[in-house]
Amino acid sequence: MTPETTARAARSGDLRARMLEAAERLLNSAPGNDISTRAVCEAVGVTQPILYRLFGDKNGLLAALVENGFERYISRKQALEATDDPVADLRAGWDDHTDFALTHRALYRLMFSPVLPEVPAPADRIFELLKQTLDRCAAVGAVRIPTEEAAQAILSANVGVALSILSQPSRFRDPLLSARVRDAVFASCLDESAAARPAPDEGPARAALCLEARLRDRPPEELRPEETALLLLWLGRLQRAAP
């Protein structure tokens, strides 16, 4: 790549970032959370053909804005401190999710809108980050159900309460609503007691859940990869067989 090409790409990237910032700014101030490509171009001082070259059309602009929002969300999550208490980290993660929604109201509604033609790839990373924290909880015996199922319950509830607050603020105005829903969902998925350890009378499923999380976090050197995979398969069967 020549210096001229590099400089051109840098200018294009800077312009793209400025257009995304302008689009989010306009989205925040728009009564119906809708924007026009003309307004975005005027805010940046460019012509519409430049927007079409960078994003294709308005849908391409909104898709890029959503993807950028997820990337910023992920960076924010990765910056959160991981402590020795994974359940406390999980609770902090829920509260941070709600705070992100309230801080970026229009963007958040767009990110989690059911009318999106497809979910951007970074959205999957959100689920994986949540599951990683749940795996840490499971490793200390603090998860009642498989972490995949717990992640589904927690993320859907967190998104649901955030969208409810944003969409109908007059109805969902209780400042403790998010914490109440969080505690209710956590109670169904977690055992937050200090003595949350697999006990003999809980059957093999709870012990299997705890052991699986530990093996995924730190595979034993004594076993070959295929042996570890087989052990994880058996542990998964024990969890699914539980009533």
Cα 12 from Cα 14, distance rounded (Å): 5
Strand partners, 34: none
Cα 155 from Cα 159, distance rounded (Å): 6
What's CA 168's distance to the chain center, in Å? 22
Instruction: For the chain, give the longest Cα–Cα distance.
Output: 71
Q: Which residue has the tokens 């767009």?
A: 110
Higher pLDDT among residues 150 and 226, named by residue: 150
Tokens of 18: 């400025």
Cα 229 from Cα 235, distance rounded (Å): 10
| Mean pLDDT calculated for residue range 123-138 | 93
Per-residue pLDDT, 48? 94
Per-residue pLDDT, 196? 47
Residues 70-111: tens digit of each pLDDT: 999 999 999 998 999 999 999 999 999 999 999 999 999 999
Cα 81 from Cα 90, distance rounded (Å): 11
Q: Is the pLDDT of residue 2 over 80?
A: no
Residues 213-230: tens digit of each pLDDT: 767 767 777 778 877 787
One-letter identity of residue 121: A
Cα 197 from Cα 138, distance rounded (Å): 10
Residues 196-206: tens digit of each pLDDT: 444 444 566 66
Tokens of 189: 């998925």
| Mean pLDDT calculated for residue range 185-201 | 69
pTM greater than 0.85 (yes/no): no
- DSSP letter string over 1-30? --HHHHHHHHHHHHHHHHHHHHHHHHHHH-
CATH number of 10-56: 1.10.10
One-letter identity of residue 237: R
Handedness of CA 139, 180, 76, 163 (dihedral sign): positive
- DSSP letter string over 76-123? HHHTSPP-S-HHHHHHHHHHHHHHHHHHSHHHHHHHT-TT-SS--THH
| Mean pLDDT calculated for residue range 30-46 | 90
Domain ranges, ordered by start, for the chain: 10-56
